[in-house]
Amino acid sequence: MDSTTLRPEDARLLLAEIERARRATRYRIGQYSWISFAIWATVFAGAAIVGPRLVLYWVVAVPVALALTAASDMLLSEARTARRADWRYWAIGAAISIANFGGGWLFTFSFLAAWTWFVLGMGFAGFAWLDHHRGAALALVGMALLALFSLGLDIDPETVYRALAGVFAAGTAACARGMKP
Mean pLDDT, residues 68-87 taken together: 69
Report yes or no on 65 lying in a domain.
Answer: yes
Report yes or no on 6 lying in a domain.
Answer: no
Q: Do 73 and 178 meet the contact criterion of CB atoms below 8 Å apart?
A: no
Report yes or no on 100 lying in a domain.
Answer: yes
Query: What pLDDT digit, counting tens, does each position of 67-76 carry?
Result: 998 888 777 7
Query: What pLDDT digit, counting tens, does each position of 16-44 carry?
Result: 676 665 555 544 556 778 899 999 999 99
Report yes or no on 16 lying in a domain.
Answer: no
Write out the residue range of the structural domain in which residue 93 sits. 31-179
In this model, does residue 14 exceed pLDDT 80?
A: no
Distances, alpha carbon 118 to alpha carbons 3, 52, 62, 90, 140, in Å: 59, 14, 17, 19, 9
Task: Look at the chain and report how many structural domains it folds into.
Answer: 1
Query: What pLDDT digit, counting tens, does each position of 1-12 carry?
Result: 456 777 778 667
